[in-house]
Structure 1
Amino acid sequence: MRATPPITTLTALAHHPLSLMIALLALSSALLVSCAQKVDIDQLQKTIQTGITQQTGIAVDSVGCPQEDRKLAERDTFNCNVNTQGGPLTVQVTLVDNQGKVTWKVTQGLVSLTLAEEKVQAAIGKRVGIQVMVDCGSKKGSSRVAHKGDVFECSVTDGKQTLPIKVTMQDDQGGFAWEPIHP
């Protein structure tokens, strides 16, 4: 009887260059500046909605950013809430300059499936010393909405057999643990 490997905790965060926690997106000043030199919140919300859908394939139901007048102040940062069919996301918006250019990124609720596959593959390879392939569904979409406690399955293959693993989200920033599923 083989010993059950312990649960391994990893993170698929936005800080990885290949991750799709939505790459920082610089928007043109014409899009986000109203006549009064304030952030055009309506346009920003539309841009975030389109960007998330185009970059992840995840349908966005709504985007809610603070509605108070926001003057253009370099390095001003605020959060917007995004509602998707898979659950909520938090987007951090930062004004790059006082001309209306901003960057935004998803900071909570999104996990990169590609990065999760890479991290699990590396951990298994290091633990058992063989090359494996991991599939968490990244071919269907590069990311998924996932929050603390959410569980999804991936498959691991060594070329001879394919086994399922359970991935459990440990936090809302992309941290997860995985373990083999035993029949």
Structure 2
Amino acid sequence: MQYLQGYSLILLPTVLLACAPIVDGDEVGRRIHQEFERKTEIAVHSVKCPQDIESKVGKRFVCDIYALEGNILKTQVTLKDDQGDISWSVQTGLVNLGVIEENIEKTFKNERLSKVKASCDGKFKIAHQGDTFECGVQEGNDDPGKVMVKVTDEQGKVNFQFLDRSDPAADNKPSSAP
């Protein structure tokens, strides 16, 4: 009989662990999918998270966001409570185009003493260190111009260079923006 009692004591922690609350990784992925698309206006194919996540306040894990255009972003997820409420953030590879537009406009104002309207088409862009893309600029009634933007690090810092300048005396130095 002692053997049976010892055996049941060994099984008890396993049974209790199996009954510990878990968070469904698929449900977390669906929530991130919806929120990411709504906040960034970037189409998402799917979000993959670990399955059966231990429901413990402060528990951290990583989910992968698969954008429709083929890029993959890693998102850091933290459980805020034992009911599955989460907070999440993309640490690298996501560039806020509104910030870039503001910096282009400020740089034009400071360097060229002119007011422009910059447009990078969208709210956010998936871009990694070394990637380049163009933003449009409209300076008064002049023909539209372009700015070449280059991502300089994984935190989204960029340099940009004015293209199609109407001022031949203007230099071609890149400008920096966070």
Percent identity, please: 34
Q: How far off is 1:66 after superposition?
A: 2.5
Matched residue SS, 2:55: coil
Deviations 1:130-167 (A, max 9, x none): 32211111xxx311221222211112222032321100
Matched residue SS, 2:31: helix
- The residue that corresponds to 2:58 in the other structure is 75
- The residue that corresponds to 2:151 in the other structure is 169
| The one of 46, 51, 63 aligned to 1:62 | 46
- The residue that corresponds to 2:162 in the other structure is 180
Q: Cα distance 1:134–1:96, how it changes in 2: closer, same or farther (>3 A)?
A: same
Q: How far off is 1:45 after superposition?
A: 0.7
Deviations 1:54-111 (A, max 9, x none): 33332212212233x4222222222211111331112111111233211112222221
| The one of 117, 137, 160 aligned to 2:141 | 160
For residues 141 and 99 of structure 2, what CA distance do their matches in structure 1 show? 24
**1:79 alignment partner AA:** V
Q: Does 1:97 align with 2:78?
A: no
Give 1 or 2: higher helix fraction. Answer: 2
Matched residue SS, 1:111: strand
**1:77 alignment partner AA:** R
Check the 8 A contact 2:43/2:68 in 1, yes or no: yes
Q: What RMSD in Å do the two structures reach over aligned CA positions?
A: 2.1
Q: How far off is 1:182 after superposition?
A: 4.7
- The residue that corresponds to 2:130 in the other structure is 149
Q: Which runs of 5+ in 2 are unaligned?
A: 1-18, 166-178
Structure (1 or 2) with the larger CA radius of gyration: 2
Q: How far off is 1:120 after superposition?
A: 1.7
Q: How far off is 1:36 after superposition?
A: 4.4
For residues 60 and 20 of structure 2, what CA distance do their matches in structure 1 show? 19
For residues 148 and 37 of structure 1, what CA distance do their matches in structure 2 show? 40
Check the 8 A contact 2:115/2:140 in 1, yes or no: no
TM-score (norm 1): 0.70
For residues 37 and 104 of structure 2, what CA distance do their matches in structure 1 show? 26
Check the 8 A contact 2:26/2:48 in 1, yes or no: no
For residues 124 and 102 of structure 1, what CA distance do their matches in structure 2 show? 41
For residues 72 and 170 of structure 1, what CA distance do their matches in structure 2 show? 38
Runs of 4+ in 1 over 6 A off after TM superposition: none
Q: Which runs of 5+ in 1 are unaligned?
A: 1-34
- The residue that corresponds to 1:110 in the other structure is 94
For residues 53 and 175 of structure 1, what CA distance do their matches in structure 2 show? 22
Q: Which has the higher contact order (CA 8 A, sep 6+)?
A: 1
